[in-house]
Each structure stands twice: as structure tokens, then as C-alpha cells.
């Protein structure tokens, strides 16, 4: 139930993100479109998700982002899984309880995602100038993602709380 809810939330946020991208094209500020899926991936990594289940969810969300963004197939899939695994490793050491720490975590992981994408485009891309152009967008993109993080994380926390399994009392108890 929780997995399906997070996939549906991710799909809805990807559709919203694509519409924000169109709006950002009107505003003419490069890199201002936030990644609305990244806070979900960080949320799943920092919380108690089982590694294989969270990896599969991050894979699915990244694949959906690849399809909707018309990115090279596997680019966001790889970065989503990589960010989840690193967030999972950091989640053991970090307890992101306050809004400020959550925003800081999303900002740092957004920077990490941007660097990974720029490196992958430099290695596998056909255009040599593209990674340099992408590198100039990393900081504004990370700032926009961090600003949108409290709203997305609030949705993720609501889904997390709504799908918690409560132990059922025994029927015909002693």
C-alpha cells in the first residue's frame, strides 16, 4: 500500500514538475525548476525503509522521471538509486527531525544529484559543452529543490503516517 502511494505521489509530482518547467520557461531564470521527486527519495532513504524496497521505489521514480523528462534512458534512474543509497547510509547517522535539517539534507543531495548528472553527461554525452552548461544550473536547481522540499516532505510524511501498519488485536484472545 505504501509503495503504491509513493509511486502515485511521485507520478503526480512529476506531472506537476513538468508544468513548473513550462512556467519557468516563461520566467526565464535558468535552473529554477525544482526536482519534486528528489525530496521523496531522500525521505525514503533517511527513514526506516528496507534497502531493497526503497531501492526499487527509487528505481521506479527515477524511471518515471526519465520517461517524462525525455532524458537519456537510465540517467535519473541511476541518480535516484544512488541518492537513495547515499541517503540511506547518511540516514543511519542523521536524524532529520527539524524542517531546517530536512531542507539542508535535500539541498545537499540535490547538489550531489546535479554533480552526478554532470559527470555522467561528460562521460557518456555526445556534446562536450553540455556538462559545462549543466554545471551552471546545479546551484539554482538545488536552491529551488530545497525551497520546495518542506511541502513535498510534508506530503511524504502524511503518506508515511497513513500507511503505518498497526498491529491487530488477537481474535478470540485468552
80-123: pLDDT as tens digits: 999 999 988 877 556 556 788 888 889 999 999 999 988 888 88
pLDDT of residue 152: 93
Cell output for 20: 513548473
Number of other residues whose CB lies within 10 A of the CB of residue 29: 11
**What distance in Å separates the CA atoms of residue 123 and residue 107, rounded to the nearest whole number?**
24
pLDDT value at 168 more than 70: no
Which residue is listed with cell 535535500? 106
- pTM of the predicted protein model: 0.83
Amino acid at each position: 500500500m505504501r509503495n503504491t502511494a509513493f509511486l502515485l505521489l511521485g507520478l503526480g509530482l512529476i506531472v506537476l514538475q513538468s508544468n513548473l518547467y513550462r512556467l519557468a520557461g516563461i520566467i526565464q531564470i535558468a535552473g529554477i525548476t525544482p526536482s519534486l521527486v528528489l525530496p521523496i527519495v531522500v525521505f525514503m532513504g533517511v527513514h526506516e525503509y528496507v534497502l531493497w524496497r526503497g531501492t526499487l521505489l527509487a528505481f521506479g521514480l527515477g524511471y518515471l522521471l526519465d520517461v517524462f523528462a525525455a532524458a537519456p534512458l537510465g540517467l535519473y534512474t541511476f541518480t535516484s538509486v544512488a541518492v537513495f543509497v547515499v541517503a540511506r547510509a547518511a540516514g543511519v547517522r542523521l536524524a532529520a527531525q527539524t524542517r531546517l535539517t530536512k531542507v539542508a539534507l535535500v539541498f545537499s543531495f540535490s547538489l550531489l544529484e546535479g554533480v552526478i548528472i554532470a559527470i555522467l553527461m561528460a562521460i557518456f554525452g555526445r556534446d562536450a559543452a553540455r556538462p559545462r552548461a549543466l554545471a551552471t544550473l546545479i546551484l539554482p536547481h538545488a536552491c529551488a529543490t530545497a525551497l520546495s522540499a518542506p511541502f513535498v516532505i510534508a506530503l511524504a510524511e502524511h503518506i508515511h503516517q497513513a500507511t503505518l501498519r498497526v498491529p491487530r488485536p488477537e481474535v478470540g484472545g485468552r
